[in-house]
Amino acid sequence: MGLIKTAQEILEQGHDAVLRGDFASAADKFRSASQKFSKQGDMSMSQLASGYASIVRVSQRPSDSGLYYNAADTIRPLGNTPLKLGPREVTASYLAEELQLLGNEIDAVGLIPDQPERWAVRASSLQDLANRFRSNTAGDPLVMPELLQKQQILAETKAMQLQALSEEALAESLISRDPKAAAEHYQTARLWWAQAGRQDMAESAASRVSSYGKAVKCWFCGREVTGERIHFLTMPSDLTELVSRSSGDGALPSCVPSLREVYACKGCHSAVFKMADSRALQRTNELEVRVNAELSEIRRQIEQIKDVMRR
């Protein structure tokens, strides 16, 4: 074997680097194999090598959707050509579809809406994506997570996570007008998270179920409201046993059991806060006027002293 490697040998070195998990060097090898094949006029091998380069390049920034789309576009024309990626072998068109979906997932999950209507749009795009993961990939673990992170993730698991996120987005789209319905969607999300094996997310969804589904009576105005932290909040207070009992005999509580906090509907809560804010501002302005007057008096006295010393 001579010192100068053939294009095929460089391609093999790329595959070896993939097996070692050294994706940066694999990308280099695939790129130079592609150039070498191209110089020899072997365009189909050159295209294959550059396809491999685009796939391993995803490892540089695994949360950059652009790299996934780029890889998908590069390998899609290879059609049914088998690709060897570590221990797996899949067709180029199969992997192109997975790369496209993973790119779409990054974009759909990363976009956090700021308006209720947008939450509804997010919900339907996540649901759509969940369906595509189910229908467009076989029952095998996804190729890219297995290649890059040594993680076995089934398309079905991915679909369940997306469905959970979709239910949560639906809940957020409803919370401002129907907190009980929002709580129900978080309940469904909780079940999807649990099925997908994400106990942490299931627990956080469960805590939304109880806070969004919780109903109280406002201590101040007596309104009955549902949806903790959105439609009502707690405010620190000191109640006595007698005072707490005097709030009426309704089934809904108007204070916490420890009697250290009362419930306030959003209207009462914000009215109190806005008034406190404006009082604080007024007081600060008054203080500023007084302090400024005193400061100028002190300055005047200092000038006087300086005058005396200069004489």
Closest contact distance (angstroms) between CB of 218 and Zn ion is: 3
Minimum distance from residue 223 beta carbon to Zn ion (Å) = 5
Of 129 and 233, which has the nearer Cβ to Zn ion? 233
Min dist. Cβ of residue 230 to Zn ion (A)? 14
Least distance (Å) from Zn ion to the CB of residue 249? Answer: 18
Distances from the Cα of 169 to the Cα of 204, 247, 297, angstroms:
14, 37, 61
Q: How far is the C-alpha of 266 from the C-alpha of 229, rounded, in Å? A: 9
Token representation of residue 26: 């694999």
CB of 226 to Zn ion, least distance (A): 13
List Cβ neighbours of 119 (8 Å cut-off, separation of 6 or more): 113, 169, 170, 172, 173
For residue 138, what are the contacts with CB-CB under 8 A and spacing of at least 6?
94, 155
Cβ nearer to Zn ion, comparing 221 with 281:
221
Which residue type sits at 260? R
- Position 74, amino acid: T
Closer residue to Zn ion (CB): 139 or 248: 248
C-beta of 69 vs 220, nearer to Zn ion = 220
Q: What angle is formed at CA 269 by the lines to CA 266 and CA 270, rounded to 5 degrees? A: 85
Least distance in angstroms from the C-beta of 267 to Zn ion: 5
Going by C-beta distance under 8 Å and a sequence separation of 6 or more, which residues neighbour residue 93?
A: 75, 76, 78, 79, 80
Nearer to Zn ion, 185 or 214 (CB): 214
The alpha carbon of 214 is separated from its chain's Cα centroid by a whole number of angstroms, namely 25
**Given the complex with Zn ion, which of 221 and 291 has the nearer CB atom?**
221
Element counts in the chain: helices (H) and strands (E):
12, 6
* Residues in contact with Zn ion by the rule CB under 5 A: 218, 220-221, 223, 265, 268
